[in-house]
Amino acid sequence: MKKNILTIRVDDIFGQKCGCPICQTEKISEENACEYIAGSAMMTPEIRIETNKLGFCAEHFDMLLKTSARLPLALILSTHLDEIQNEAYGVRTSSFGKNPKAERSAEFEKTCYVCSRMDGDLDRFLHGMFKMYAEDESFRKLFSEQEYICFPHRNLLLNKAGKALKKDILKQFCAETERLSADKLIQIRKGLEELCSSFDYRNAGKPLSENAEFAPERAIEFITGRPKKD
Ligand SMILES: [Zn+2]
Ligand SMILES: [Zn+2]
């Protein structure tokens, strides 16, 4: 299979065999988007048009607060609020739900510039990943050697696979994805059970395994697809 930037990126992420590979690529894409926004992009007119329109979700506002300088952040917030004021405010009737401004107000709450960039990145990544899975046997082997696939990304992959892969390969892909995810779920449950039973006085002083010690963090990470502990 011919190598290009996308296949190299997919190989790179899967080659790490560390955690859920889709979580890994999302983490990198998120860091890149936040760094980009916190840097010169904040002052780029085309990007400002987009950030004014989309704004940011609470999680990504938090990231920007931690990473951005005060002046560019204040400027970005100020013009985003201008747009909210112009497009969402000015309701003069009592039936807000029927006012076109209600729809725009709701949109402002749902959209995020960083999330939308991440969605685009992930679509491209998955497109490359499915192509490699269909055409490259060594990548299929690499896929099956992953540490695990988290619950939301197992759902995403199973949902997207039907359109991306042909029947024979699709069956193999779904079985492998399900195995990688279900095995991890069982491992995390064991860790949680061990942690719970360590509170029993009969087990006092018994050392905890690493799997049990961080089982709540691992479980939340698995269920949400958001890292809780490196
Ligand atoms: Zn994941
Ligand atoms: Zn966001």
Give residue-wise pLDDT tens across range 152-192: 999 999 999 999 999 999 999 999 999 999 999 999 999 99
Model confidence at 99, in pLDDT bands (50, 70, 90)? confident
| 96 C-alpha to ligand 2 centroid (Å) | 26
Report the distance separating Cα 149 and Cα 157, nearest Å.
9
Ligand nearest to the Cα of 221, by number: 1
As a whole number, mean pLDDT of residues 17-33 equals 94
- Distance (angstroms) between ligand 1 centre and the Cα of 227 equals 9
Cα 114 to middle of ligand 2, angstroms: 5
For residue 103, how far is the Cα from the chain centroid? 26
pLDDT at position 30 over 80? yes
Report the range of poorest mean pLDDT among 36-50, 71-85, 105-119. Answer: 36-50
Distance 157 CA to ligand 1 centre (A): 10
Give the pLDDT band of residue 44 (cuts 50, 70, 90): confident
Ligand 1 centroid to residue 155 C-alpha, Å? 10
Distance 19 CA to ligand 1 centre (A): 8
Q: Is the pTM of this model over 0.85?
A: yes
> How far apart are the CA of 203 and the centre of ligand 1, in A?
34
